[in-house]
Chains A and B, each alone.
Chain A
Amino acid sequence: MNMSADQVQQHVMTYLEVTECQIIEKSPFHVTVKLSPQADKQLTNRPYYWGFVERTGVDPETLSYTFVFDPERYTVVDVPPAPVPEGTPQDSILSRYFGVAPVVPRIGPGRIQREDVNYGSRRLQQIWDVARQEGSYVYLFEQPGDLQRRALFSAAYEPWLAVCFKVEMTCDVKKEQLHFMGISLLTGVITDDFRELLVGKNLSPRLPENVHINPAELSITKAAEHLQSHLTSMLSQLDYTWADQAQERLKDELTIIDAYYENMMNDPEEEKNDLIREQYDRRRSEMTWQYEPKVNVSAITCGLFHLRPIQ
């Protein structure tokens, strides 16, 4: 997987819009933005500053950034000078005493920090992580069309539990899969590609007018159990050659270790033996830790979706 500068920009812009940051300037290659308090707290790692703001009740001064997505085509000349913070005295103490004052690079509020953002940058990883923290659990309703709003009878919506599972297949190497699946709390029907179900739908956190929700037949707990056992049966269909190979490697390594230590623990001195046994056990457990194949499943995001029933 790799991402173009456009895609990276899209991801960053989505985040900035959701967190209501103030976009100062934008081109296909960059964006200059003054962060909202929410985004500042999530991105700039300034807990002490925000602690201070909250305790004293002063107006927060958030940081500004120029995120550059295509450094080769972005030219600095186009950028307006950083806004001078209001209330800065025009003649500084230094210049009053010495006639001239050295030009000090401006730090703190008003300075715009430039940062190149691309697929590998920590900033993008951070934005994804924050998105996951903030957006993991949702409760949403499909927006009905105009027709439904004016209809005589209220529409009955179907509740779904949807989970995006991450599957990690690990031994000394690793591979991952994502499964975004959903289960109808009404019928128990499971769909392996829940996103397909959402194509073309508008979702909103508010219950729309003229819509009611059919009561669930399945409890959340039961539904979760169904989803997980469905996922498990999908996983059991996969090819596990990788795991067999890892077991094989583990066996080979253990054979080498066993042979190496075999006669070393017959030392007449008990103390020496203990030391070597300790070494041997440690080495064996390291091997198992390194090679033993396993599958871990966790949820990236999940939520309840209330959708118009499929016709």
Chain B
Amino acid sequence: MDTPFIEHMTTTQSLPVPLVIDQSWLENLESRLDKGGPWGDWRLFQLAVQGEESRLVTSFDELLCVKYIQDLTPLPHQIDTARKVLFEMSGRAILADEVGLGKTIEAGLILKEYIIRGLVSKVLILVPASLVLQWVRELNSKFGILAVAQKKAYSWSSDIVVASIDTAKRDPHKDILLDQEYDMLIIDEAHKLKNKKTSNYQFIQKLRKKYCLLLTATPVQNDLGELFNLITLLKPGQLGKQGEFSSNFVVDKRIAKNEGQLKDELSKVMIRNRRGEGPTIFTKRTVRNVNLQLSPEEQALYDGVTSYVKDQYQAAGGNLSSMLSLVTLQREVCSSRDAVFVTLVNLTKKMAEDSPQRAKIWDLVYMIKEIKANTKAEKTIELIREMNEKVIVFTEYRATQEYLLQYFRANDISCVPYRGGMNRGKKDWMMDLFRGRVQVMIATEAGGEGINLQFCHNMINFDLPWNPMRVEQRIGRIHRLGQKNDVKIYNLSTTGTIEEHILNLLHEKINMFEMVIGGLDVILERFEKKGSLEKSLYKIVLESQSDEEIRQKVNSLGQSLDEVKRQVEDEVVREEEA
């Protein structure tokens, strides 16, 4: 090397932008000339050039990523969103689609495009701990993006890391991350960053990033100030200063003024696709409630358990928290004798040898012995035979699940179990079997990750959770993107039991089975600021003296839920009109 090379050409032909020429090729070539090699193969030389030509980014604004993705066909709104974020919003945006429209897919498309274009290589993805593995799997399988889940401190050195925000903000990880520069930062469930005083918020604010995506399904509904904070993470000042924002846009914290203008400003940083827009991508839901009469033996057990629970509650002096498991007993009778039996046995284990309670429980166990058939199970088989299609049966109780497995198999119906305790491999295996020749899946768990059963469109709620979100999660397993048929939901309920009241509340009062997906979490979040719905129900059941009293109290609970629901719907309508 004799002359130093010019890094910035400052001649007359100089460019209007900084030009950097990488000179390393010349050094390498000269060193090879000195040593007489090694020289490459001419065919590989040509292949390298052809390869480079084949993946050359020839245009500033053509979406390339779709050609690189094989196992996924993105929906039109997802492609539009990706294009808009990439080419109009310069890669900083809030993806706020309503639940179920595929925000993760949109984020994956955007990330893939930046990687292909060579604009992004170092990526940090922060998600709730329970979603880390799901993200890693999806990025790998759907997008061919080699992401790793953060496990140890050395994981951070990988190019694309998925981690939980709670881990990331702690020592020793925090300092490692703050020393990095990330080409892209993605945060899932970003509405959790609404409060700027939290350590999570302050940590995110300190991260150095070029492009940034915040994913959330519920950005606006509950507080405009929270939305302001979210946008400040992304683009401080986009909505003006804090004070200006309040005086320009906020009447009450939930009510915006100058909505048109706010909407314009928001559209520069946020994309919100709605289910109602564009072609319908969700099929219909139909709900059928199947009311059953308990057999005399079952009814006797139910009555026995109910009076036992009442006695205990009174004896405990109305202490609610210790009594919750007793209400479970009542619910279990409505499910299967097996479920009650297991709970009763567990109860006696906790009692002293000479406790007078033991006798009472033994009485109940004798009643169980009298029961020879399960009314609901018989009806379920009838329904399954009638529809003669794949169906998923949900129950709350492990014992019921075992019983149904054995009962269905005895009746020549092929079925597999699915529960939260299974490891990933077993879960996948069960899903594969169900996708294959097995007709029925009996599941105790609907939440968590990865149960996508679009190939099945029938669902039987053998019993109902008292938390409406869990009901929604159950339905969400089959009623999701990719479902081609209308979804049929069967709710089994036994007349004259607490089940009847719950179904009445969920179906008649808040009409949740037919509600559009995604609305429920907003309504519940707001309702439950006053206390958990599930707890209120337990309280009603324990404190009421008569069936009629339960009915009245559940009714009034339903009314206040309905009010919140209307409120939210009004806001949505105004948001749309704005």
B28 CB contacts on chain A under 8 angstroms: 136-137
Number of interface residues of A (CB under 8 A): 86
Asked if B573 lies at the interface with its beta carbon under 8 angstroms from chain A, I say no
Instruction: State the CA gap A37–B484 with chains docked (Å).
Output: 49
B39 CB contacts on chain A under 8 angstroms: 137-139, 205, 303
B25:A14 contact, CB within 8 angstroms: no
Q: A118-B70, A290-B90 are in contact. Are A257 and B20 (CB under 8 A)?
A: no
B181 CB contacts on chain A under 8 angstroms: 289
A92 CB contacts on chain B under 8 angstroms: none
B472 to chain A, nearest CB (A): 36
Asked if B282 lies at the interface with its beta carbon under 8 angstroms from chain A, I say no
B19:A297 contact, CB within 8 angstroms: yes
Instruction: State the CA gap A178–B51 with chains docked (Å).
Output: 11
CB closest residue in chain A, given B20: A296
Instruction: State the CA gap A175–B236 with chains docked (Å).
Output: 29
B25:A282 contact, CB within 8 angstroms: no
Within 8 A of B (CB), among A1-30: 1-3, 11, 14-15, 17-18
Of B61-69, B455-463, B475-483, the one touching chain A: B61-69
Cβ 8 A contact of B68, one of A120, A203, A235: A120
Instruction: State the CA gap A18–B54 with chains docked (Å).
Output: 20
A18 CB contacts on chain B under 8 angstroms: 41, 43-44, 47
B146 CB contacts on chain A under 8 angstroms: 122
Asked if A243 lies at the interface with its beta carbon under 8 angstroms from chain B, I say yes
A171 to chain B, nearest CB (A): 9
Asked if B22 lies at the interface with its beta carbon under 8 angstroms from chain A, I say yes
A132 to chain B, nearest CB (A): 4
A132:B91 contact, CB within 8 angstroms: no
Within 8 A of A (CB), among B10-27: 11, 13-22, 25-26
B119 CB contacts on chain A under 8 angstroms: 170, 173-174
Asked if B58 lies at the interface with its beta carbon under 8 angstroms from chain A, I say yes
A120 CB contacts on chain B under 8 angstroms: 67-70, 144
Asked if B1 lies at the interface with its beta carbon under 8 angstroms from chain A, I say yes
B498 to chain A, nearest CB (A): 49
A300:B17 contact, CB within 8 angstroms: no
Asked if B210 lies at the interface with its beta carbon under 8 angstroms from chain A, I say yes
Instruction: State the CA gap A90–B519 with chains docked (Å).
Output: 63
Instruction: State the CA gap A135–B47 with chains docked (Å).
Output: 8
Within 8 A of A (CB), among B39-59: 39-59
Instruction: State the CA gap A71–B67 with chains docked (Å).
Output: 16
Asked if B334 lies at the interface with its beta carbon under 8 angstroms from chain A, I say no
A232:B67 contact, CB within 8 angstroms: no
Asked if A74 lies at the interface with its beta carbon under 8 angstroms from chain B, I say no
A235:B30 contact, CB within 8 angstroms: no
CB closest residue in chain B, given A236: B13
Instruction: State the CA gap A170–B181 with chains docked (Å).
Output: 18
A178:B22 contact, CB within 8 angstroms: no
Contact with B along A277-311 (1 / 0, CB 8 A): 00100110010011101111111111110000000
A229:B13 contact, CB within 8 angstroms: yes
Instruction: State the CA gap A174–B90 with chains docked (Å).
Output: 11
Q: A137-B28, A178-B53, A302-B29 are in contact. Are A289 and B47 (CB under 8 A)?
A: no
B51:A128 contact, CB within 8 angstroms: yes
Contact with B along A220-237 (1 / 0, CB 8 A): 110011001100110110
Instruction: State the CA gap A232–B33 with chains docked (Å).
Output: 26
B209 CB contacts on chain A under 8 angstroms: 286
A131:B48 contact, CB within 8 angstroms: yes
B61 CB contacts on chain A under 8 angstroms: 173
Q: A1-B58, A175-B58, A235-B19 are in contact. Are A290 and B52 (CB under 8 A)?
A: no
B426 CB contacts on chain A under 8 angstroms: none
Cβ 8 A contact of B26, one of A134, A220, A233, A259: A220
Asked if A127 lies at the interface with its beta carbon under 8 angstroms from chain B, I say yes
A204 CB contacts on chain B under 8 angstroms: 42
| A–B Cβ pairs within 8 angstroms, 24 of them | A120-B68, A122-B144, A124-B51, A127-B47, A128-B47, A136-B25, A138-B41, A139-B32, A139-B39, A175-B57, A175-B58, A176-B118, A180-B49, A204-B42, A220-B33, A221-B30, A259-B241, A286-B209, A289-B210, A294-B19, A296-B22, A297-B21, A300-B48, A300-B49
Residues of B at the A interface (CB closer than 8 Å) are: 1-3, 5-6, 9, 11, 13-22, 25-26, 28-30, 32-33, 37, 39-61, 67-70, 86-87, 90-92, 117-119, 144, 146, 181, 205-206, 208-211, 235-238, 240-241
Known: A2-B67, A139-B33. 14 other contacts (CB 8 A): A17-B43, A125-B51, A125-B55, A131-B45, A136-B25, A138-B40, A138-B41, A139-B32, A164-B49, A173-B61, A176-B118, A232-B21, A256-B235, A295-B15
Residues of A at the B interface (CB closer than 8 Å) are: 1-3, 11, 14-15, 17-18, 116, 118-122, 124-125, 127-129, 131-132, 134-140, 163-164, 166, 168, 170, 172-178, 180, 203-205, 219-221, 224-225, 228-229, 232-233, 235-236, 240, 242-244, 249, 253, 256-257, 259-261, 263, 279, 282-283, 286, 289-291, 293-304
